Structure 1
């Protein structure tokens, strides 16, 4: 019997939002989950997600600090960070993924 493994992937997701002012950002009113420890967490079917922002996501013309951002009414964020942890990955699949990290796949592998 194969042992199950887990896989963790960190993502930086740009936010593209069509708005009246033409800014690709989400607007948060008085609240923004800054830092991984304050992230929005969700778990379902062997997958754990954590979404959060770093202060640099709010930097446009100015570069407010975390203390300053608390005084802002509408905070714009142009990207979000996400950690995805997938559990119960078959160990054979995990080994295959590690062994085949390049794009040099055989024709048979490309058709899988």
Structure 2
């Protein structure tokens, strides 16, 4: 597993993307790492697992509190080959789509 870094980006019109790093895991899963900076808490690492849904139309993301949680979730996803079971609740996999390609990037 190799991490790929992405710099912060501000698009014309004001949309802003924070600096982050992404690691591709086999089977379509991703780990996303960024920093959350607030006055109250300072700098906090944010690690998110992004995995495809069994329906094939979207992704589900889960913020991970520890490596133990990551291992538990990966174990739970083993029967579905790394895919989250689909449910029809609002904000399920349909809420997470591929990010638009930043202007000027290829």
User: What TM-score does the superposition give when structure 1 sets the normalisation length?
Assistant: 0.30
Structure with larger RCO (C-alpha < 8 A, sep 6+): 1
Structure number with larger C-alpha Rg: 1
User: What TM-score does the superposition give when structure 2 sets the normalisation length?
Assistant: 0.31
